[in-house]
Chain A
């Protein structure tokens, strides 16, 4: 029976080519615009570490006077050096790391090349295990090396390729900012997006992953400059020493808390710590602490650019209009064949059969629209690179799930759009149609 309906559908579609093309085009365009913007949105709002994000927490403390705070009442998304060090010292989480962005100059092993700056992070040794950073060779450094501010580095696969030609470089020396550092590990490609461990500095997305990591303590000892700094009042002393003592924030922090009880305990600890600092006169304003897990933190930070949401919304609107359009056209198309329906009904076809016939026809249009939509989505993914900032556009990928979603959306939407017209078609009175023709 399905084969027969399919045959009927194809015949009918062939009969009115213009109308069919119009419907296919409208479904294709609607679905493609939706899928293209959805790909961008999905990439921007994805969970960067889904298997662990609910156990990773970001402590935040409001430390400035009310007048210097954000209008939305959110505390800062970074810590001062003093507070970050206090949290590291007390070490109340299973794993934790203070983090700051560095961009030291790395000297090429071969002479004759200019040195280049390599973006990376100063972190604690626990960082790698906490965030499941994949290693090609070696591993992170030990807590002893943290304590000793040891001159060790972990390189990215890309930097290892550039500096050492991609060999197992563990134990080799690398000149970073004019000092020798011993390579202890090489990570595999690792660049989770959004950059959840440094939303403060990165703003959420970076096209390239970190090139190197070194011990936090070492970077501080070497006075390696940080990226972004936010201050309420200027530091009272100049230089790096002044920055360390100031109430400027520039250090991000991630803590791993494995249970709800641990999170509660940590929250209590954070409140106690902030209360103590407030009594000592270091913190101003009302208590304003947060301890959110990663998904909640990223949401509160508004990491997903507003533009991508508006784009998705407008594209969804376009799809709705395309669907309304298809409903209208299908209605016209189906009712035009009232005479044919009348004959079929008079010959004994039940209403269900008419339903099935027209829904099959809608499905065929959906399939055709979906196929066109696939092509247009592919085009859209190329075009979106021209209109989006590269750091976002690079994230949007055309993968299997998106292809499947395109096809499924097209067929599902068209069949949905065909429901009312086929319902109307099935209610055609056979007697009337036979009489008048």
Chain B
């Protein structure tokens, strides 16, 4: 079959052809970008923290009427309070280990700064978040040490949370070690935090995600340093690892035990995000709720778009089939087979969809470009576009099949009637 008669026929339905092609183009442009957004969010949500996240929860509490922490005596008092809490939690049945920590990945409470190779370097070599914790932090979080040694009890110091001293040793994540020392010889080297605070790398953990999920830390998502410090402040945070399956039971017991040991504190009982005791699964869920929501919304919009476009093709093609009823009969009477009629409409749709897809590719790239310049968006990889093109062509063929088959069923006898 030559294309010529199809093209001639199409010229008589310019408006309809243009509308379908336009609809396919717009659908392709939006669906490609939406699916790309979904892909990015899914990838983001799936990022590992480096923690063994099961059977892990965090306690966040604020002291009431506690000392200010500005002078050595009050820091000692705060530290004693904190050590008492750690002991209380350790005594709970079902607890494997407990550590003091200033923050955890995904909680968006961040301590951060520049890391340099030389003191008072004009521009820091890289940036990192800082974790502070005691010797129990590595085993409690389940971090994998790949070089050097972990902290032992003798390494741990305690200081006020606005104290600016840095302990002499630090453990860093591998990505931070690599960005400081690309040749892999970070162990034993001295680095400088915030320009001037010198410290020596004594251990490297395989992975530890940033405590921030915001755009602030994008670019150094896995740069983390752990300082052997118990921070003494008006608040404290503890991480608790429980025996498998005991997480919920221990979480419930922890609140009562802490209040019983010292009622002069606030552990938020907010039913939502601000609860003082949250499992790591909850923390993860909260951190990525917006991303999940965005992905779901984009998915819903894509489905609606594809449905509407497919329905539009069915509707308009059905109209054309009805309009050309008699012509189809004439063709059949002149010897065209059913399959020829079917192919006619399929090829016609292929042509229109092809034109729409061409325009759609341009629109998709343009939209991606525009999103890149206005929002945090990266360039859409080609596979997304190619998949989109194939999907749109397939959608067109699927949508046209029903009306095209109806056309092919028009009996040749129609040609002899009603002329």
The answer to whether A321 touches B23, judged by C-beta atoms less than 8 angstroms apart, is yes
- CB of A399, distance to nearest CB on chain B (Å): 21
Which one, A236, A309, A329, contacts B315 given CB within 8 A?
A329
**B43 at interface (Cβ–Cβ under 8 A)?**
no
CA distance A223 to B160 in the complex (A): 14
The answer to whether A390 touches B322, judged by C-beta atoms less than 8 angstroms apart, is no
Q: Which of B67-75, B94-102, B379-387 interfaces with chain A?
A: B67-75
Which one, B62, B65, B309, contacts A321 given CB within 8 A?
B309
CA distance A387 to B376 in the complex (A): 20
**B323 at interface (Cβ–Cβ under 8 A)?**
yes
CA distance A156 to B289 in the complex (A): 30
CA distance A149 to B160 in the complex (A): 26
- CB of B265, distance to nearest CB on chain A (Å): 8
Which one, A114, A233, A314, A389, contacts B263 given CB within 8 A?
A114
The answer to whether A321 touches B316, judged by C-beta atoms less than 8 angstroms apart, is no
The answer to whether A239 touches B311, judged by C-beta atoms less than 8 angstroms apart, is no
The residues of A that contact B56 with a CB separation of less than 8 Å are none
Which one, B15, B264, B304, contacts A318 given CB within 8 A?
B304
The answer to whether A236 touches B164, judged by C-beta atoms less than 8 angstroms apart, is yes
Which one, B19, B62, B375, contacts A324 given CB within 8 A?
B19
The answer to whether B315 touches A310, judged by C-beta atoms less than 8 angstroms apart, is no
The answer to whether A329 touches B316, judged by C-beta atoms less than 8 angstroms apart, is yes
**A22 at interface (Cβ–Cβ under 8 A)?**
yes
The answer to whether B68 touches A240, judged by C-beta atoms less than 8 angstroms apart, is yes
**Per-residue contact bits, chain B 1-44, to A (CB 8 Å; 1 contact, 0 not):** 00000000000000110011011001101100110010000000
- CB of A418, distance to nearest CB on chain B (Å): 13
CA distance A115 to B263 in the complex (A): 9
**B296 at interface (Cβ–Cβ under 8 A)?**
yes
**B197 at interface (Cβ–Cβ under 8 A)?**
yes
Given known pairs A117-B268, A314-B34, A318-B30, the reply for A307 and B294 (CB within 8 Å) is yes
Given known pairs A236-B164, A328-B16, A331-B19, the reply for A336 and B30 (CB within 8 Å) is no
**Per-residue contact bits, chain A 313-347, to B (CB 8 Å; 1 contact, 0 not):** 01101101110110111011101100000000000
The answer to whether B162 touches A240, judged by C-beta atoms less than 8 angstroms apart, is yes
CA distance A19 to B272 in the complex (A): 46
The residues of B that contact A324 with a CB separation of less than 8 Å are 19, 22-23, 26, 312
The answer to whether B160 touches A238, judged by C-beta atoms less than 8 angstroms apart, is yes
The answer to whether A19 touches B64, judged by C-beta atoms less than 8 angstroms apart, is no
Which one, B22, B266, B301, contacts A117 given CB within 8 A?
B266
The answer to whether B15 touches A424, judged by C-beta atoms less than 8 angstroms apart, is yes
The answer to whether B26 touches A320, judged by C-beta atoms less than 8 angstroms apart, is yes
A residues 27-48 near B (Cβ < 8 Å) are 29-30, 33
CA distance A336 to B293 in the complex (A): 43
**B163 at interface (Cβ–Cβ under 8 A)?**
yes
Which one, B62, B122, B162, B196, contacts A238 given CB within 8 A?
B162
Q: Tell which of A240, A315, A329, A386 has the most Cβ of chain B within 10 Å.
A: A329
**A420 at interface (Cβ–Cβ under 8 A)?**
yes
Q: Tell which of A225, A240, A315 has the most Cβ of chain B within 10 Å.
A: A225
Task: Report how many A-B pairs have Cβ atoms within 8 Å.
Answer: 164
The answer to whether A233 touches B194, judged by C-beta atoms less than 8 angstroms apart, is yes
CA distance A331 to B123 in the complex (A): 64
Given known pairs A329-B312, A336-B319, the reply for A321 and B375 (CB within 8 Å) is no
**A178 at interface (Cβ–Cβ under 8 A)?**
yes
- CB of A428, distance to nearest CB on chain B (Å): 13
CA distance A327 to B19 in the complex (A): 8
**B371 at interface (Cβ–Cβ under 8 A)?**
yes
The answer to whether A310 touches B301, judged by C-beta atoms less than 8 angstroms apart, is no
**A372 at interface (Cβ–Cβ under 8 A)?**
no
Which one, B37, B233, B292, B316, contacts A310 given CB within 8 A?
B37
**B290 at interface (Cβ–Cβ under 8 A)?**
yes
The answer to whether A387 touches B292, judged by C-beta atoms less than 8 angstroms apart, is yes
Given known pairs A105-B266, A243-B162, A310-B375, the reply for A33 and B312 (CB within 8 Å) is no
The answer to whether B297 touches A178, judged by C-beta atoms less than 8 angstroms apart, is no
CA distance A231 to B266 in the complex (A): 28
Which one, A30, A311, A328, contacts B20 given CB within 8 A?
A328
The answer to whether A328 touches B70, judged by C-beta atoms less than 8 angstroms apart, is no
- CB of B235, distance to nearest CB on chain A (Å): 8
The answer to whether B315 touches A177, judged by C-beta atoms less than 8 angstroms apart, is no
CA distance A116 to B311 in the complex (A): 57
The residues of B that contact A349 with a CB separation of less than 8 Å are none
**Per-residue contact bits, chain A 218-250, to B (CB 8 Å; 1 contact, 0 not):** 000001010000010111101111110000000
The answer to whether B194 touches A240, judged by C-beta atoms less than 8 angstroms apart, is no
The answer to whether B162 touches A22, judged by C-beta atoms less than 8 angstroms apart, is no
**B273 at interface (Cβ–Cβ under 8 A)?**
yes
The answer to whether B296 touches A387, judged by C-beta atoms less than 8 angstroms apart, is yes
The residues of B that contact A332 with a CB separation of less than 8 Å are 16, 315-316, 318-320
CA distance A420 to B14 in the complex (A): 13
The answer to whether A22 touches B30, judged by C-beta atoms less than 8 angstroms apart, is no
- CB of B326, distance to nearest CB on chain A (Å): 10
CA distance A421 to B418 in the complex (A): 28
Q: Tell which of A29, A33, A105, A336 has the most Cβ of chain B within 10 Å.
A: A105
**Per-residue contact bits, chain B 346-375, to A (CB 8 Å; 1 contact, 0 not):** 000000000000000000000000010011
**B330 at interface (Cβ–Cβ under 8 A)?**
no
CA distance A315 to B302 in the complex (A): 10
The residues of B that contact A96 with a CB separation of less than 8 Å are none
The answer to whether B64 touches A105, judged by C-beta atoms less than 8 angstroms apart, is yes
Given known pairs A117-B268, A238-B70, A321-B305, the reply for A388 and B65 (CB within 8 Å) is no
The answer to whether A239 touches B68, judged by C-beta atoms less than 8 angstroms apart, is yes
Given known pairs A33-B301, A317-B26, the reply for A309 and B160 (CB within 8 Å) is no
**Per-residue contact bits, chain B 151-162, to A (CB 8 Å; 1 contact, 0 not):** 000000000101
The residues of A that contact B33 with a CB separation of less than 8 Å are 314
Name 14 A/B residue pairs within 8 A (Cβ), A-sorted: A33-B301, A67-B123, A114-B267, A233-B194, A234-B197, A238-B162, A305-B290, A310-B294, A311-B294, A318-B301, A318-B304, A332-B318, A335-B323, A386-B293
Q: Considering the complex of A and B, which 3 residue pairs feature the smallest CB-CB distances, nearest first?
A: A387-B293, A239-B70, A332-B319
Q: Which residues of B come within 8 Å of A, CB atoms?
A: 15-16, 19-20, 22-23, 26-27, 29-30, 33-34, 37, 62, 64-65, 68-71, 113, 122-123, 160, 162-164, 194-197, 233-234, 259, 263-268, 272-273, 289-290, 292-294, 296-298, 301, 304-305, 308-309, 311-312, 315-316, 318-320, 322-323, 371, 374-376
